[in-house]
Amino acid sequence: MLATETDRTDRGVLGVTPTRWRPDMLAVVAHDLRQPVSAVLMAAEFAEELLGDCSTGEMLQRQLALVQRCARETLRIAEDLLTMGQVEAGALRLRRAPVDVRALLEDVRALVSPHARAKSIHIGVGGPPALPHAYADRDRLLQVLGNLCGNAIKYTPKGGRVCAVAEATDDAIRISITDNGPGVRAGELGRLFDEYWQGDGIAAHAGVGLGLAIARWLVEAHGGRIAAETVDGGGLCVAFTLPVARGENALAPNA
């Protein structure tokens, strides 16, 4: 039987005090939610019209793929908002257990693949065959990786690449997400994980600005660290650490 642990993580543990909701932020959130939901509605209505024409199978498939992408984006936004509310209330709980990180990366690739295919972006996953398990909340870790990979795909140009790699260090599991997008200016790296922050020149990708902040809160709640750096030749690498499952909480490394 796997050992599990439920943690109550408050602001003192996280070391952050998220900004309270402001009226202007509610308008931004409403706008962000309306866009994907409206696209879902239009795509579904169009798909319904196409059902009567057997010669439009390929077009129908594209519309249904759009429905799925928009629905996933809506769920992601909702999940981020719920997490933020839990952090503000000091009610964030972690259910820790040994996590097979390599298998989790494959799950993340499957999760973000529809979004990546829409931009012809290649998603790579890597790591050594014998990787220790992390001691983490699997669902929260999936949320972190989903936010980081989703952000990388958002800013990577069509035909680009995003790579997720896991490796073991002396006392932790390190996971990095690297893309070949435009990157971030050195002077802005320090603000990358601030809630609501949006860098210059990204109006076309406007959003709530919570995804990376939530990734930081969740990583730090696990006792890990997260940082970003620019990549030579263009792009961004975001890497974070997680504790290794040890003792009675450990499992054998991946076969």
**b/e string for 103-139 if b means 16 or more Cβ within 10 A?**
ebbeebbebbeebbeeeebebebebeeebbbbbbbbe
CATH of residue 85: 1.10.287.130
* Beta-carbon contacts of residue 2 (< 8 Å; ≥ 6 apart): 97, 98, 251
Let me know the angle formed at the C-alpha of 249 by 248 and 253, rounded to the nearest 5 degrees: 105
Verify that 240 and 152 share a domain, yes or no: yes
Which residue segment(s) compose the domain that 80 sits in?
19-92
- Domain-ending residue, one of 62, 92, 122: 92
Indicate if 80 and 185 belong to the same structural domain: no
pLDDT in tens, the chain (255 residues): 334 445 544 443 454 445 555 545 555 665 677 667 767 777 777 776 776 666 667 777 777 777 777 777 777 777 777 777 777 777 778 999 999 999 999 999 988 888 898 899 999 999 998 899 999 999 999 999 999 999 899 889 999 999 999 999 988 999 999 999 988 887 788 778 887 556 554 434 445 567 888 899 999 999 999 999 998 888 999 999 999 998 766 655 554
Domain-ending residue, one of 92, 124, 150: 92
For the question of whether the overall pTM of this predicted structure is more than 0.85, the answer is no
Residue 9 belongs to some domain of the structure:
no
Could you give the CA distance from residue 243 to residue 139 in angstroms, rounded to a whole number? 16
Residue identified by tokens 């998603």 is 123
**Domain end position, chosen among 77, 92, 107:** 92
